[in-house]
Chain A
Amino acid sequence: MATTASDRLLVSSQLEHLQAKYVGTGHPDLHRYDWLSNIQRDTYASMVGHHNMMTYVSLCENESIGRTRYKLLEKMFLPCGNPPEREED
């Protein structure tokens, strides 16, 4: 099936819309760093959301649940450290 320029535009605009709406939607040029950060943020968010996980982690680390939550939220800021130098495309 031949794709016209307008089709391609439509697809890419739809993709952009998705990326804007759903944080973490990937694209072909996604950098490893972005992908990893995204995964880790999702993981931390899921842990904060599940009270059993918070209890599990805080029991392990011998911290209060409040402190564990705070630590995880802080980690969500830059879960993989500073970004690498990127080449301009």
Chain B
Amino acid sequence: MYLYNVTLQRGGNVQAAIYGSFSGPKVHEIVVSRTKVLELLRPDANGKLQVIASTEVFGKIRSLCPFRLPGSNRDHIVVGSDSGRIVILTFDGKTRRFKKVHQETYGKTGCRRIVPGQYLAYDPKGRAVMIGALEKQKLVYVLNRDSAANLTISSPLEAHKSRNIVFSIVGLDCGFENPIFGAIEMDYGEAEQDPTGEAAKQARKHLTYYELDLGLNHVVRKWSEPCDNGANMLIAVPGGSEGPGGVLICAENYVIYKHQNHKEVKAPIPRRADLPQSRGVLLVSYAAHKQKSMFFFLVQSEYGDLYKVTLDCERETVKDLKIRYFDTIPVCTSICVLKSGFLFAGSECGDHALYQFLGIGDDENEAVASASQAMATENGLQPVEFSPRPLKNLLLIDAIESLSPVCDMKVANLFEEETKQMYTLTGKGPWSTMKILRPGQTVAEMAVSPLPGSPNGVWTIKENKSQEFDSFILVSFKNASLVLSVGESVEEVTDSGFQTTSATLDVKLMADDSILQVVPTGLRHILGDGRVNEWRCPGRKQITSVSCNERQVVAALTGYELVYFELDETGQLLESEKKDMAGEISSVCIAPIPAGKLRSKFLAIGGYDATIRVLSLDPHDCLSPLAVQAVAAVPSSMLFINISTSDFDEDTKSLYLQAGLANGILLRTEIDSVTGQLSDTRTRFLGTRPPKLVGLRIMGKESMMALSSRPWVGYTKEGRFTLTPISYEGLSHATHFSSEQCPEAIVGVAQTSLRILVIEHLGDVFNSSACGLKYTPRTMAVNEEQKVIAVGEADCGVVPNQFTTAMAPKENGDAMDTGEDDGENEPSEEKVQFGSVRGNPEQWASCIEVIDATSLSVSSQLELEGNYAVTCMAWVRFEGQEADILAVATALDIKLQPRGCSGGEIRLYTFKDKEKGLELLHSTSVRGIVRAMKPFQGRLLVGVGNALTLYELGKKQLLKKSENRKFPNFIVTIDTAGDRIYCGDAQESVHFCRYRWEDNLIHIYADDTIPRYMTASAVLDYNTVLGGDKFGNIFVCRLPKDVSKEVEDDPTGGRAMDNSSSALHSAPHKLESVCSFHLGDTVTAIQRTTMQPGGKEIVLYMTILGEIGALVPLTSKEDVDFFSHLEMHLRQDNQPLCGRDHLSYRSSYNPVRNVIDGGFCEQYSQISKELQSRIAEELDRSPGEVMKKLEDMRNKIL
């Protein structure tokens, strides 16, 4: 079995973010590491963050730092990754690509303890960088420039110290003296030798300075002094002429200023009033801001509070250190202060945000702690308390959606739409949501207005070319046309010069600012001064189809006649050629006029004989045929479109002919710009209606819409033409529309109303709608019959949300709440901003919410009491029951390390309808934590710790029917097929079991040879299971054919053998590993499904960092050959950006096997043309064919 792995949507998390000017001088840009992807973001004039470039690096980025050579005005990017190499990149603003400048190997690959890559620090004066490991190794690279101003890199200088754990490193600002790097280190050497524990008690963290002696070219350990034992982060303080130098040590509860030959200045961090005493305040991210006259630091605590840290200095002495509460935003992994007055916040969970500074937090009334006024008590300095408040200094400008972290996902079709929806649990704490993802482009509906009938066309038109916005919307009906003028409001006008007593076939603003209206009986040329020149069809003929550009018009008349007009120099539209065709014409289309030319050379004609003909419009051989293509069905609509093969270079355009056929297929054919020959045809099925094609401009680029049973948008992305469905109801007609409010909108007709739509976030594959949740969602169960989704939520260490309902029935120990407090369902805005209220670490807050899919609101909510937490849930149809029952597994006093609880319960709830909500049937106690449940033959399979139990429904509780306790650790996944049960263990991979009805026994007959820490699984067929593990691998295990047969035939079901080998604690048979692939991200949900109506079955997965991917089975040997060779060539010639070898990355844990990395293959479209053709030649294909294959694979999925 071979699988083809494609990423449908890249992970949304931000692992690190840096700020600088990367593409050119004085631009404000942010480079973001999304662990596997490097991205460059730039806020546009309106403050919206634009993704300028995004590259998958096929490795793990662990640290980033900007780097600027002295005297330069652009920043380089230094990347620390798992490649064992330091990589320095620049960003090319023209090509919009990251370029590798240097790549120096220093160690082994992988995220290892002593291989540098975790920490990066740079000398603020741009002379050196230090790259460090978690323990022992630190390397310093001296950077310089050569005579041609290129960046040079030295060989590494070592600053190692054994048995030293490093918490943070930073480059000190010490002007133009020798560069110094500071590190927080802790030496475990002595503590590890002292059995009395005395040394461990006395061990202190040290702040150590490493000086790079530029003259002698070596690094010396210059100074080391003990510091606070809670230290976790270092911040460099501006030095030289701009400040005192030295560092700020962020420690638990304190910020300390420290420097060589300077006494410590220590201030307590203000803490929230409701924080339990046992909890400290740890700072997790920071940003520094420096202006000529002042500098300050913004630091963020683990609870999301931002503080402004300032220093009072007198020359080089720091007199005081102040920490003032600034604002509260969601917890971030990285924050950046932009010099343009923005704050970029890369959130740990949920959406990332761009804030504008409204103030710099100088309000004297805010909670402030200072070193000089801190009161010393027995437990250290007395902290200042405050309560978080709504934003005051920051204003949210833009947000980037992120799904990270994803806990679970199910694919279902609750809405009975053409494609299935993905129900996703995302977020953490009060930032949790249940999101419904639909493949398709998001559009925002700006306006809807009813029309007096069913239109057969809509156009927008400007009054003259110099106008920026459209002035009229013309809607055509069967025998009338409606002209609307666009101004403050949209109103009907009658004096526009348009003929309104008949239908309209086309409207166009010509090159000389005259307007052409095509009606069935002829052409109306409305001149600038209001005069109208008419051309009438000869005899009783009528125009059936028409197409025009700014200078040329072609009309197909009844009776196989084709008439061609051209606008001459005097502004007259003259008939210049006429031709009788051999058959009836279904559609015509004129190519757009190339820039700087007077006319376009091509005309395409679709005939009812299912052909597309290209005719010449050259005056020498006007209307003579150039090319002919036979197609599968009648072309009902055609469009010429210029597609540029790269994002950035508008010159590399080529002309394509798109044709929508009567059978719902869209054809795309490249047309030679000289000869008009057609080549390289691609097809795509769009829907049940013949697609109607409309040209558009989106973000200034030529794009198109295809209106079939649902609308599609086609545009260029990363050098590829992409077609995505629009998540909106079917449109019968549409055209572009630009007005002051929305310069790039679409006006469309759906049934009998006019819609104005705007495409949002072009390029997002999925659009989402969300329902807020109370706590971190852990588990979900979708009920397709009732169209509800039950979500189990639990958070540890927080105070449960106050329960405000009057009095709920208490007889079951649970407070039942049936939706009286609808206002409470949506987490309040404050809660979302401030995060949850911390309790003691053993405390759990948990609830069950039932979400009504259609209204996307919580229809019933049930808070668990008594420190119970939901661990797992499933809808079960027990034997003899008429409705599904919700089984909810709960556990009491869960402890995480080591895993344990003081008891559990499986509660059964009935859910009759949305009004009644959940009603408790009964509960059954179980011994441990239940992590997996599955309905099985009218009963319920439950994984309790290392036991698999089969329960039957009883009157008072569940009745235990059968049990197997031979699982190694902890059952986390259960799948079933027939009599077979596939259990995933938390550490020991998949176990194949069988339930034998005759003797009522479950027994394990096969297991895996490799320990895998399972997180998710799906059954592919009776003998095959696909799973994902905690370390980011996916794998396929298969039961060998002969074993499968043997087990089926064996009257004991293989049980006889089971006993013989029980001494080895393993099953008698072993599974074969069929596929193996390192994804680099923990898979949390897998499902086998189809996402296209009538499409192929694929495997969809989601990872914790929010990546959505698909595995497509490759069915032919030829495809396997082709893709593996393409992959091989790319591995050789297109090495990943951050220096990790592709093959070794995909084999990080287990050697990659039978899985082709589609994402990597798709980089083919981004490599140079020469390389493309060289690789294509090796594969005996043309580059076009290679691209087509790649595109076809992707089109099979969505």
Q: Which residues of B contact A82 (CB under 8 A)?
A: 191, 194-197, 200
B907 within 8 A of A: no
Q: Known contacts A66-B282, A70-B282, A77-B203: does B13 contact A51 (CB below 8 Å)?
A: yes
Q: Across the interface, do A83 and B195 meet the contact criterion of CB distance under 8 Å? A: yes
Q: Which residues of A contact B65 (CB under 8 A)?
A: none
B1103 within 8 A of A: yes
User: Closest CB-CB distance, B1103 to chain A, in whole Å?
Assistant: 7
Q: Known contacts A78-B188, A83-B193: does B1104 contact A59 (CB below 8 Å)?
A: yes
In the complex, which of the residues A50, A66, A70 contacts B60, with contact meaning CB atoms closer than 8 Å? Answer: A50
Select the stretch in B110-118, B540-548, B571-579 that faces chain A. B110-118
16 A-B pairs within 8 Å (CB atoms) are namely A20-B162, A42-B112, A49-B118, A49-B134, A50-B111, A52-B1081, A56-B1082, A59-B349, A59-B776, A61-B797, A61-B896, A62-B798, A64-B348, A70-B167, A83-B193, A86-B195
Q: Which residues of B contact A65 (CB under 8 A)?
A: 284, 331, 333, 348
Q: Which residues of A contact B975 (CB under 8 A)?
A: none
User: Closest CB-CB distance, A57 to chain B, in whole Å?
Assistant: 9
Given A34-B192, A37-B192, A59-B405, 20 additional A-B pairs, CB 8 A: A42-B112, A45-B112, A45-B113, A45-B134, A46-B111, A48-B111, A49-B111, A49-B134, A50-B111, A52-B1104, A55-B13, A55-B349, A56-B405, A61-B797, A64-B303, A66-B333, A70-B282, A78-B191, A82-B194, A86-B195
For chain B, residues 387 to 408, give those with C-beta under 8 angstroms from any C-beta of chain A. Answer: 404-405, 407
For chain A, residues 34 to 89, give those with C-beta under 8 angstroms from any C-beta of chain B. Answer: 34, 37, 41-42, 45-46, 48-53, 55-56, 58-67, 70, 73, 76-78, 82-86
Q: Which residues of A contact B15 (CB under 8 A)?
A: 51
Q: Across the interface, do B1030 and A56 meet the contact criterion of CB distance under 8 Å? A: yes
Q: Which residues of A contact B772 (CB under 8 A)?
A: none
Q: Across the interface, do A62 and B776 meet the contact criterion of CB distance under 8 Å? A: yes
Q: Which residues of B contact A37 (CB under 8 A)?
A: 192
Q: Known contacts A61-B796, A62-B429, A70-B282: does B118 contact A48 (CB below 8 Å)?
A: yes
Bound CA span A65–B1080, Å: 18
B704 within 8 A of A: no
User: Closest CB-CB distance, A60 to chain B, in whole Å?
Assistant: 6
Q: Across the interface, do B135 and A52 meet the contact criterion of CB distance under 8 Å? A: no
A1 within 8 A of B: no
B989 within 8 A of A: no
For chain B, residues 463 to 495, give those with C-beta under 8 angstroms from any C-beta of chain A. Answer: none
Bound CA span A54–B534, Å: 73
Q: Which residues of B contact A53 (CB under 8 A)?
A: 1030-1031, 1082
A5 within 8 A of B: no
Nearest residue (CB) in B for A41 is B113
Q: Across the interface, do A77 and B165 meet the contact criterion of CB distance under 8 Å? A: yes
Task: Report how many A-B pairs have Cβ atoms within 8 Å.
Answer: 142
Q: Known contacts A23-B162, A73-B134: does B195 contact A64 (CB below 8 Å)?
A: no
User: Closest CB-CB distance, A78 to chain B, in whole Å?
Assistant: 6
Q: A-side binding surface: helix, strand, loop or mixed?
A: helix
Bound CA span A84–B197, Å: 10
Bound CA span A78–B202, Å: 13
Bound CA span A84–B796, Å: 34
B703 within 8 A of A: no
Q: Which residues of B contact A49 (CB under 8 A)?
A: 60, 62, 82, 111-112, 117-118, 134
Chain A residues in the interface with B (C-beta under 8 A) = 20, 22-24, 34, 37, 41-42, 45-46, 48-53, 55-56, 58-67, 70, 73, 76-78, 82-86
Q: Across the interface, do B284 and A64 meet the contact criterion of CB distance under 8 Å? A: yes
B83 within 8 A of A: no
Bound CA span A23–B15, Å: 28
Size bracket of the B interface: 35 or more
Q: Which residues of A contact B165 (CB under 8 A)?
A: 73, 76-77
User: Closest CB-CB distance, B46 to chain A, in whole Å?
Assistant: 31
Q: Across the interface, do B113 and A62 meet the contact criterion of CB distance under 8 Å? A: no
User: Closest CB-CB distance, A66 to chain B, in whole Å?
Assistant: 3
Nearest residue (CB) in A for B1015 is A56
Bound CA span A13–B421, Å: 64
Nearest residue (CB) in A for B203 is A77
Nearest residue (CB) in A for B1105 is A52
B275 within 8 A of A: no
Chain B residues in the interface with A (C-beta under 8 A) = 13, 15, 35, 60, 62, 82, 111-114, 117-118, 134-136, 162, 165, 167, 186, 188, 191-197, 200, 203, 232, 252, 282-285, 302-303, 331, 333, 348-349, 404-405, 407, 428-429, 776, 795-798, 896, 1030-1032, 1080-1082, 1103-1105
User: Closest CB-CB distance, B799 to chain A, in whole Å?
Assistant: 12
Bound CA span A37–B796, Å: 28
User: Closest CB-CB distance, A40 to chain B, in whole Å?
Assistant: 11
User: Closest CB-CB distance, A21 to chain B, in whole Å?
Assistant: 9
Q: Known contacts A23-B162, A55-B1104, A58-B348: does B302 contact A67 (CB below 8 Å)?
A: yes
Nearest residue (CB) in A for B14 is A51
Bound CA span A37–B331, Å: 32
Bound CA span A70–B333, Å: 13
Q: Across the interface, do B1082 and A63 meet the contact criterion of CB distance under 8 Å? A: no
Bound CA span A78–B187, Å: 10
Nearest residue (CB) in A for B232 is A70
User: Closest CB-CB distance, B63 to chain A, in whole Å?
Assistant: 10
Bound CA span A64–B546, Å: 62
In the complex, the 7 A-B pairs of residues with the closest C-beta atoms, listed nearest first: A66-B284, A49-B111, A45-B113, A64-B302, A82-B197, A51-B15, A51-B35
Nearest residue (CB) in B for A76 is B165
Most interface-central of A34, A46, A50, A73 (chain B CB within 10 A): A50
Bound CA span A46–B161, Å: 20
Nearest residue (CB) in B for A20 is B162
Q: Which residues of A contact B117 (CB under 8 A)?
A: 49
Q: Across the interface, do A55 and B135 meet the contact criterion of CB distance under 8 Å? A: no
Q: Which residues of A contact B331 (CB under 8 A)?
A: 64-66
Bound CA span A67–B60, Å: 21
Q: Which residues of A contact B404 (CB under 8 A)?
A: 55
User: Closest CB-CB distance, A26 to chain B, in whole Å?
Assistant: 15
Nearest residue (CB) in B for A42 is B113
Q: Across the interface, do B1103 and A52 meet the contact criterion of CB distance under 8 Å? A: yes
Q: Known contacts A51-B13, A52-B1080, A59-B407: does B194 contact A76 (CB below 8 Å)?
A: no
Q: Known contacts A59-B428, A82-B200: does B111 contact A45 (CB below 8 Å)?
A: yes
Bound CA span A53–B35, Å: 11
Bound CA span A23–B200, Å: 20
Q: Which residues of A contact B167 (CB under 8 A)?
A: 70, 73
Bound CA span A64–B1082, Å: 18
User: Closest CB-CB distance, B80 to chain A, in whole Å?
Assistant: 10
Q: Which residues of B contact A66 (CB under 8 A)?
A: 232, 282-285, 302, 331, 333
Q: Across the interface, do B186 and A77 meet the contact criterion of CB distance under 8 Å? A: yes
In the complex, which of the residues B284, B407, B1081 contacts A67, with contact meaning CB atoms closer than 8 Å? Answer: B284
User: Closest CB-CB distance, B167 to chain A, in whole Å?
Assistant: 6
Q: Across the interface, do B1082 and A52 meet the contact criterion of CB distance under 8 Å? A: yes
Bound CA span A55–B284, Å: 14
Bound CA span A63–B167, Å: 18
User: Closest CB-CB distance, B577 to chain A, in whole Å?
Assistant: 65
Q: Which residues of B contact A34 (CB under 8 A)?
A: 192
Most interface-central of B252, B285, B1030 (chain A CB within 10 A): B1030
Most interface-central of A41, A52, A77, A83 (chain B CB within 10 A): A52
Q: Across the interface, do B113 and A23 meet the contact criterion of CB distance under 8 Å? A: yes
Most interface-central of B111, B191, B404 (chain A CB within 10 A): B111
Nearest residue (CB) in A for B196 is A82
In the complex, which of the residues A41, A50, A63, A77 contacts B191, with contact meaning CB atoms closer than 8 Å? Answer: A77
Bound CA span A24–B135, Å: 12
User: Closest CB-CB distance, B253 to chain A, in whole Å?
Assistant: 13
Q: Which residues of B contact A22 (CB under 8 A)?
A: 114
Q: Which residues of B contact A45 (CB under 8 A)?
A: 111-113, 134-135
Q: Across the interface, do A83 and B112 meet the contact criterion of CB distance under 8 Å? A: no
Bound CA span A83–B138, Å: 27
Q: Which residues of A contact B60 (CB under 8 A)?
A: 49-51
Bound CA span A82–B982, Å: 42
Q: Which residues of B contact A76 (CB under 8 A)?
A: 134-135, 165, 188
